[in-house]
């Protein structure tokens, strides 16, 4: 059994402790010929598809078309390869960005196509939705079962700290660190009132191990979240404490902050993983910041 983990050197992929993890030089997912060659040479029997073009609110707004095109290409290539090689077990990682912005209350797995994604991540959201549609088409045309996992906002070790492309937590960590060493204000986009659910990447890696190594049952689609929300202000307060920042914090309400609140229904996840223990936000941030400080010179930034 050979499990291909795309994006195996990213934040989540580096926490997955099994499988084949080619780098971009070894396997270019934009080229279908590269994928065919890799599958032929490695006898891949399962795929965990984590690779994606990702970024924060600013990057998604600025490069909406780029996010749509690149994610659509690599996702289409993976789906095509699964069909051609009849790979019977695959897991696709989606994002809560696929959900419509008009959903009131908790979002569920069945809300994906009930409206457009939020305007701040329109291209990325539709690019990721392709995997959910492709998963259903694989089942109906080829009788190949796959699973779409939708984690809430992930963070963890080996994240991308580039201030243009980072997600909220790595962006806040890096900005706070720079404000501290440069003795400047810690500037934050938005009001700080937006609320999100956060998932430590190591937890998601344990779930993938359960599905692909332990062969535990899994649904065709599943949201993964601790079902606990935090405001950006609360996250900022924890980061400030852990980085021992004593300067001024400035919230710029003229800047976009995405949807005001994202909460999800994790009842499907609880059916399949009833005893799963999530890493608490304070512990997860402490582990993340320790890794950030220890490896700052070599991190993506």
Strands (E), the chain: 3-6, 46-49, 89-93, 146-151, 153-155, 186-189, 195-200, 221-224, 229-231, 249-252
Catalytic residue among 38, 63, 124, 200: 124
Question: Distance between CA atoms of 155 and 200, rounded to whole angstroms?
Answer: 5
Identify any residues that bridge with 92 across adjacent strands, giving them in sequence order.
49, 148
Indicate the pairing of strand 153-155 with strand 186-189. unpaired
Burial class (CB in 10 A: 0-12, 13-18, 19+), 174: buried
Residue 272 catalytic?
no
Polymer length of the chain: 301
Q: Phi and psi for 213 in degrees, rounded to 5?
A: -105, -45
Place of tokens 């795929």: 47
Catalytic residues: 124
């Amino acid at each position: 059994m050979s499990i291909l983990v795309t994006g195996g050197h990213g934040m989540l992929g580096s926490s997955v402790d099994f499988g084949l993890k080619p780098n971009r030089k070894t396997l270019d997912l934009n080229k279908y010929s590269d994928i065919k060659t890799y599958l032929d040479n490695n006898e891949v029997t399962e795929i965990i598809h984590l690779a994606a073009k990702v970024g924060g609110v600013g990057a998604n707004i600025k490069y909406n078309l780029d996010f749509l095109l690149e994610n659509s290409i690599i996702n289409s290539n993976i789906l095509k390869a699964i069909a051609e090689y009849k790979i019977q077990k695959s897991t696709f990682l989606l994002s809560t960005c696929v959900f419509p912005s008009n959903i009131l209350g908790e979002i569920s797995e069945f809300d994906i196509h009930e409206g457009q994604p939020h305007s701040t991540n329109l291209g990325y959201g539709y690019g990721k939705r392709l995997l959910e549609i492709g998963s259903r088409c694989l089942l109906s045309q080829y009788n190949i079962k796959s699973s779409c996992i939708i984690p809430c906002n992930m963070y963890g070790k080996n994240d991308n700290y580039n201030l243009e492309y980072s997600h909220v937590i790595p962006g806040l960590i890096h900005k706070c660190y720079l404000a501290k060493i440069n003795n400047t204000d810690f500037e934050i986009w938005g009001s700080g009132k937006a609320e999100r659910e956060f998932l430590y990447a190591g937890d998601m890696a344990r779930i993938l191990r359960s599905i692909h190594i332990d062969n535990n049952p899994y649904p065709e689609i599943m949201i993964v979240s601790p079902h606990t929300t935090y405001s950006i202000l609360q996250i900022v307060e924890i980061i400030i404490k852990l980085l021992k920042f004593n300067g001024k914090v400035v919230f710029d309400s003229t800047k976009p902050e995405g949807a005001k609140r994202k909460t999800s229904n994790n009842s499907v996840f609880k059916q399949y993983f009833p005893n799963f223990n999530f890493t608490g936000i304070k512990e997860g941030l402490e582990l993340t910041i320790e890794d950030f400080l220890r490896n700052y010179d070599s991190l993506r930034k």
